[in-house]
């Protein structure tokens, strides 16, 4: 329970004009109280008005009604009346490092650009995102750095490169090391095994014909992908 509530506050504060990021870095180990906000806790319960949220370091230790709680001695009280704190948003279908200077490009997948995108997601209130394909293998390194706390931004889950169709979906600028395009059942199985060696979070395949513009993935190929994934 504690972990999920802490998740709520981080995102809520991102929505509150990025305030949490600066306070966390300046008052690490100290107690901060957010007082007066509306709280939507994600449980399905009605919004709670005029709340007080006590944060000690990176954990919430108490939630109650402002004016009816005792705060720890020396706590910094921040007036957030008129604001709303909500759970972190999850982008279950997104991409990283595919756009450079507003143009989709195979050259966009760099550490700097992926970091900028992950940080931007977080500033929008998205604390977790699934990068569904078109990733260079750099994504595995960055995901590992996040687990160590050394890479910023929304938490990255990834499908790695993803498995597409030769000359067809996905019909976007992508280098060979950004998407697999198997031509045989054997290639498809080998590519799933390669992704598994990187501990991908999900297997992504492009099967469709993009509104009739291209050939679909052959049934024997996607059947092999699905079987090998299982």
211 class by beta-carbon count within 10 Å (0-12 exposed, 13-18 middle, 19+ buried): exposed
The CATH architecture that domain 89-229 belongs to is Alpha-Beta Barrel (3.20)
Q: Phi and psi dihedrals of 115, rounded to 5? A: -60, -45
Distances from the Cα of 44 to the Cαs of 62, 87, 127, in angstroms? 19, 11, 20
Structure token pair of residue 138: 């750099």
CA 55 – CA 46 distance, rounded (Å):
22
Q: Which CATH superfamily is domain 2-85 in?
A: Urease, subunit C, domain 1 (2.30.40.10)
Taking the CA atoms of residue 16, residue 22, residue 27 and residue 33 in that order, the dihedral angle to the nearest 10 degrees is -10
Structure token pair of residue 148: 């160590």
Q: What confidence score (pLDDT) does residue 151 get?
A: 97
Distances from the Cα of 173 to the Cαs of 51, 86, 135, in angstroms? 48, 36, 12
CA 211 – CA 116 distance, rounded (Å):
32
CA 200 – CA 163 distance, rounded (Å):
13
Whole-prediction pTM value?
0.78
Closest to 110 (Cα-Cα) out of 201, 198, 175: 175
Neighbouring C-beta atoms of residue 99, cutoff 10 Å: 13
Q: What confidence score (pLDDT) does residue 30 get?
A: 87
Q: Which residues share a beta bridge with 59?
A: 56
pLDDT by residue, tens only, the chain of 230 residues: 333 333 334 434 433 333 343 334 344 458 999 999 999 999 999 999 999 999 998 889 999 999 999 999 999 999 999 999 999 999 999 999 999 888 999 999 999 999 999 999 999 999 999 999 999 999 999 999 999 999 999 999 999 999 999 999 999 989 999 999 999 999 999 999 999 999 999 999 999 999 999 999 999 999 999 999 99
What are the sequence ranges of the domains in the chain? 2-85, 89-229
Closest to 195 (Cα-Cα) out of 222, 229, 146, 155: 229
Write 113-121 long-range contacts (CB < 8 A, 24+).
Answer: 114/138, 114/139, 114/142, 115/142, 115/151, 115/152, 115/153, 117/153, 118/142, 118/151, 118/152, 118/153, 118/154, 118/156, 119/152, 119/153, 119/154, 120/153, 121/91, 121/94, 121/153, 121/154
CA 163 – CA 133 distance, rounded (Å):
8
């Amino acid at each position: 329970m504690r972990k999920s509530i802490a998740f709520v506050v981080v995102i809520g504060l991102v929505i509150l004009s990025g305030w949490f990021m600066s306070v966390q870095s300046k008052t690490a180990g100290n107690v901060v109280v957010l007082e007066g906000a509306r709280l939507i806790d994600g449980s399905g319960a009605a919004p709670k008005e005029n709340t007080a949220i006590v944060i000690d370091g990176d954990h919430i230790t108490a939630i109650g009604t402002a004016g009816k709680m005792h705060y720890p001695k020396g706590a910094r009280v921040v007036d957030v009346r008129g604001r709303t704190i909500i759970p972190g948003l999850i982008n279950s279908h997104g991409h990283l490092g595919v756009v450079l200077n507003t143009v989709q490009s195979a050259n966009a997948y760099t550490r700097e650009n992926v970091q900028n995108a992950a940080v931007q997601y977080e500033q929008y209130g998205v604390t977790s995102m699934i990068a569904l394909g078109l990733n260079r293998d750099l994504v595995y390194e960055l995901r590992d750095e996040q687990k160590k706390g050394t890479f910023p931004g929304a938490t990255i889950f990834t499908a790695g490169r993803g498995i597409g169709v030769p000359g067809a979906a996905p019909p976007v600028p992508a280098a060979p090391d950004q998407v697999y395009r198997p031509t045989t059942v054997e290639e498809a199985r080998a590519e799933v095994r390669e992704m598994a060696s990187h501990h991908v979070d999900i297997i992504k395949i492009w099967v469709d014909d993009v509104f009739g513009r291209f050939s679909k993935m052959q049934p024997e190929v996607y059947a092999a992908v699905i079987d090998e994934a299982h």
